[in-house]
Amino acid sequence: MTNMNTSVQEILKTDTKGRVRTPAKRRESLLGEFDQSGLSGKKFAELSGIKYQTFVSWLQKRRREGKSPAGSADPVRWLEAVVEKAQISGGKNPLALVVELPGGARMEISDANQAALAALLVRSLAPPC
């Protein structure tokens, strides 16, 4: 039977207040594990033996430095969608998607090519996160 509890022994440095100093390489490794874990930040910090506030500060620092987690170059953005009963009048396609933008502009999307262009337009108009 194989022992799954093998661990790497490492001497951790502490600061003058007794806080453990995590090396940058180890910190990045932990953040990478978190990105792939699918766990909440609080649960991951608890399982890793890291104070939650410390873990959150690492995430904020990485975000400020512009380092994005692997596989998430484009952040998720939400927009409000309202489904209304289709009105067949005025020659409009009842199967089209109508996108109303701030300022009163409207787009009617009826095929996949138009959807890709509409997505680019909405992305370019959105304020940066």
Question: Domain total for the chain?
Answer: 2
Statement to judge: residues 79 and 126 lie in one domain: yes
Inside any domain, residue 7: no
What does each of the 129 residues of the chain score in pLDDT, given as a tens digit? 444 455 566 676 777 887 778 888 888 889 988 888 878 889 999 988 889 999 999 999 988 888 766 555 555 556 666 666 655 555 566 677 887 777 778 888 888 788 888 888 877 877 665
Residue 11 located in a structural domain: no
Helices in 23-108 by DSSP H: which ranges? 24-37, 41-48, 52-64
Residue 88 lies in a domain: yes
Helices (DSSP H) in the chain: which residue ranges?
A: 24-37, 41-48, 52-64, 112-125
Q: β-strand 13-14 against 20-21: which pairing, if any?
A: antiparallel
* Residue 125 lies in domain: 74-129
Task: Tell me if 34 sits within 8 A of 52, measured CB to CB.
Answer: no
